[in-house]
Amino acid sequence: MIFLRFFVLITLIFQFNLYSQKKHQDDNIEYYTLLFELNNPNKKEINQIELPGVYRELSSTYDTRLITFEKEFNITDVNIIYSIVIENSFKSEAMIKINNNFINNNIIRGTNSYDINLPNNLLKKGINKISIHVICTELEGALDGDIYLNSQKEIISLNGVWDYYLNDKFINNIKNEPTQGFDLLNFGELDIPYYTSNDLDDSKWPIADFPSSNDMLFDNDNFNGAICFRKIVKLNKVPIEDYLIKINKGIDDYDRLYVNGKLVGKTDCYSCERKYIIPKDYLKKENLFTLFIVDKHGIGGVNSEIILSNSKELLDISDKWSFKKILEMQLLISTKVLDNKNSFFNSQQFNFYSISGIKLNFKNLLIEQKTNSNYYLLIIFLLLSILVVFFVYNSIYRKNKVNKPQKNKIIDEKKYLFIRSERADHKILLNEIISIEGKKDYVKVSTDEKSFLVRKNLKTFLKELPTSKFIRISKSVALNIEQIEKIEKNMLFIKSGKYYIIGKKYNYEIKKVI
């Protein structure tokens, strides 16, 4: 199995059908300016916090928080070249400003350490101010390492008390509960300005109305990739107030919305509600809306109507969107090419390609054979490894086979369980549980009265529950069987009226149980 996985890993190649190869500069500065209302002169309520440290206490929600941290520091010599060092970085993502100017257009992501050179023109002699704008989508936001300015002559520590304030207006314009863990639009290096431009002629593109399924648009049950949707939206007059665009049942999986070439919202969340505020300054009487949708797994698409509204107007803009496939992910499994000029391969053999499309020499991927003795030693080593794996697996299998019936019997007889949530142990009757939803390293356990967030993944948590009472219906959701009301195609409805999309590989088990 290990060697089979290794072989599959080598042959797993993304084939990108790119309609534009131009690199583009992300509009990170403009988007952060929008989210954090950096053009708004209104003062916000300022609090203080100690950094490094936890800047968001553990809570029961993944809702986005937009947090700005600020601190003053003193520079005595502006001719010195400084860099800013952030050890271990932030768990979410952030951008940095010095004296109200972004140091670059790059976003700090993950838990890496950063050492970033500061442009000299941003610093001044005397008091300077650093601002760090953080998009926190974690349950517990934290900065674990030191923050300081570094130069050949001195180190200026930024550890200690920081001012901070929260930005609430645009928190729904970004949400991140990733289903697959990477941004395919960035991965493919698409020319976003090209697809969001009024100069692009989409008159020959096919037309779609929402709600719709991506699989139906392309008559492909296994479509995984990215689609660009475009539509001209006409308003009665130039807006004097912000608009709200809303998709009640959300999008599967990931989307970005641009209005007149400007990014206004993006979400990576499986079928979560989309609710983006569009600033009035972004709008005019005739507007180009561009919606990118990435379907990473299973059935994808827009799940309900798209409504545009403000305090005086409500528009249904769900119809007549032009669309085009711009990326597709495929697993290449062909081994031989015959006389097919349109084939991806150009000869009758295995060919291997990098993600960027460059042909690789497979021999260079293998260990060079120096001598015959080395070759035979390698064969012997592989055979011994296989035997060891076989005996270990066989031993574990027999042990589990003996213990499993007794363990299953105990679990099946369970009436309740204790779960650790919000720093307390809660006794939950199994019959009262409605749903269990996986959220990264947590599960959300919902009852009629309350929801609990437990620090376990879904697979581990379900091992503690009787299979006769709970069933998994998708990669991230399991339900109490007693709560199931009806099933319509790939939609499953529970007694409360809420519905879920059934994952393809779970269809058989659900039908067998129901």
Of 340-344, 385-389, 413-417, 438-442, the poorest mean pLDDT is in: 340-344
Quick: pLDDT tens for 252-276.
888 999 999 999 999 988 888 999 9
Most confident of 43-57, 96-110, 140-154, 199-213: 199-213
Cis? peptide before 52, omega within 30° of 0: yes
Q: Which two tokens stand for residue 511?
A: 């039908």
Q: Which uninterrupted H or E stretch holds 79?
A: none
Q: How far apart are CA 221 and CA 224, in angstroms?
A: 9
Quick: pLDDT tens for 185-234.
665 567 889 999 999 999 999 999 999 988 888 887 677 888 999 999 99
Which residue spans of the chain are classified as CATH 2.40.50.1020? 416-513
Q: How far apart are CA 271 and CA 253, in angstroms?
A: 6
| 431 contacts 450 by C-beta, under 8 angstroms | no
Q: What percent of the chain has pLDDT over 90?
A: 38
Q: Residue 257's pLDDT is what?
A: 97
Q: Residue 12's pLDDT is what?
A: 36
Task: Band the pLDDT of 351: cuts 50, 70, 90.
Answer: low
Q: What is Dmax (Cα atoms) for the chain? A: 83
Nearest Cα to 513, choosing from 445, 467, 452? Answer: 467
Which residue spans of the chain are classified as CATH 2.60.120.260? 37-169, 177-328
Mean pLDDT of the 290-296 span = 90
Cβ atoms within 10 Å, residue 445: 24
Dihedral pair phi/psi, residue 491, rounded to 5° = -110, 130
Task: Band the pLDDT of 400: cuts 50, 70, 90.
Answer: low
Cβ atoms within 10 Å, residue 201: 7
Burial zone of 218 (CB within 10 Å; 0-12 exposed, 13-18 middle, 19+ buried):
middle
Task: Band the pLDDT of 397: cuts 50, 70, 90.
Answer: low
Q: How far apart are CA 504 and CA 508, in angstroms?
A: 8
| 289 contacts 282 by C-beta, under 8 angstroms | no
Q: How far apart are CA 395 and CA 295, in angstroms?
A: 41
Mean pLDDT of the 383-393 span = 74
pTM metric for this prediction? 0.61
Most confident of 154-158, 325-329, 330-334: 154-158
Dihedral pair phi/psi, residue 307, rounded to 5° = -115, 130
Q: How far apart are CA 491 and CA 487, in angstroms?
A: 6
Q: Which CATH superfamily is domain 177-328 in?
A: Galactose-binding domain-like (2.60.120.260)
| CATH number of 416-513, picked from 3.40.50.620, 2.40.40.20, 1.10.3720.10, 2.40.50.1020 | 2.40.50.1020
Instruction: Name which CATH class applies to 37-169.
Output: mainly beta
Q: Residue 243's pLDDT is what?
A: 98
What residue type is assigned to position 307 of the chain? I
- 101 CB contacts (<8 Å, ≥6 apart)? 122
* Average pLDDT of the chain to the nearest whole number: 80
Mean pLDDT of the 508-513 span = 78
